[in-house]
Amino acid sequence: MERPAWAPRSIDISVPSVSRIYDYYLGGSHNFEVDREAARKAMEFMPGLPKIMQANRAFMRRAVRFAIDEGITQFLDIGSGIPTFGNVHEVAQSASPGAHVVYVDHDPVAVAHSQAVLEGTDGADVVAADLRKPQDILTSSQVERLIDLNRPVALLLVAILHFVEDEDDPYAAVAELRDALAPGSMLVLTHASYEGIPLPEERAKGTVDVYRDIRNPLIMRSREGIARFFEGYDMVEPGLVPMPLWRPDTAPEDEDPYAFSGFAGVGRTA
């Protein structure tokens, strides 16, 4: 298998990666045949997966603009993946040129690409770290340099928590991050769920099985289970809703039915 110049030597290009699969769904070029194969298998069960990813990105951009409008200019994007057009720093810095963004991912490909994309960009950096170890993120030199934890921060957990199993206690990790952030900080979150998918649950389970087979289990939580991540936050209107219904720019009825799969929300600490 040919190793492209952009692929770090340290990575095993025979094993699919969640962030490269996501890149493929979004039409990116930083993925390998193993990733495309896994993505196509998952799409056999849920052909609308790319629409779900696009809805995630569109929500993320609206939420970033909302945070800027509310006076927040610091962003911590955990599970940021491979940079594609319309990243957090592009959206944030076009609305507020002095905004600071730190991306966090544990996939070496995502980190290597982020470094390449961010070269020469002031106010943005990337950390190789894992959501399950909040202290590694909070004490990183990148966060210490760019994020003032005494001022409000927007914490982005977009399409990441559904890859953290219950035994790894994602609720504790999210609470630890919340407690480290200044009052007035925001949590911006999306999460997969069987609720809203325009398919019978049995069929959607086929996609979940594909992710389990590549050792990246996809944990479908209920709306109630997802709402628990917002403990300690006040929900911003309209609350925890399907992605196209969160402060839409365009008529939600024009959206693809798959865009309504799962939930999105923004909370703010008092």
**pLDDT band for position 185 (50/70/90)?**
very high
Give the pLDDT confidence of 30-77 residue by residue, as tens digits: 899 999 999 999 999 999 999 999 999 999 999 999 999 999 999 999
197 by Cβ neighbours in 10 Å (0-12 / 13-18 / 19+) ranks as buried
Give the pLDDT confidence of 204-224 residue by residue, as tens digits: 999 999 999 999 999 999 999
pTM higher than 0.85 for the full model?
A: yes
Q: For residue 12, what pLDDT is reported?
A: 82
Q: For residue 62, what pLDDT is reported?
A: 98
Q: For residue 27, what pLDDT is reported?
A: 93
CA 99 from chain center: how many Å?
19
**pLDDT band for position 1 (50/70/90)?**
low
Give the pLDDT confidence of 135-174 residue by residue, as tens digits: 999 999 999 999 999 999 999 999 999 999 999 999 999 9
Q: For residue 86, what pLDDT is reported?
A: 85
**Residue 85 one-letter amino acid:** F
Is residue 188 helix, strand or coil? Answer: strand
Tokens of 57: 């990105």
Q: For residue 117, what pLDDT is reported?
A: 87
| Distance (Å, whole) CA 257 – CA 48 | 8
Q: 264 pLDDT exceeds 80? A: yes
Q: What phi-psi label fits residue 232: left (phi over 0), alpha (psi between -120 and 50 degrees) or beta?
A: left
Return the CATH number of 49-268, one of 1.10.1740.10, 3.40.50.150, 3.40.50.10680, 3.10.580.10. Answer: 3.40.50.150
Q: For residue 175, what pLDDT is reported?
A: 98
Query: Residue 19's closest CA among 134, 156, 85, 113?
Result: 113
Q: What is the mean pLDDT of the chain?
A: 95
Q: 7 pLDDT exceeds 90? A: no
Q: For residue 80, what pLDDT is reported?
A: 96
**Residue 182 one-letter amino acid:** A
| Distance (Å, whole) CA 13 – CA 128 | 18
Give the pLDDT confidence of 111-134 residue by residue, as tens digits: 988 998 899 999 999 999 999 999
| Distance (Å, whole) CA 55 – CA 59 | 6
Q: 189 pLDDT exceeds 80? A: yes
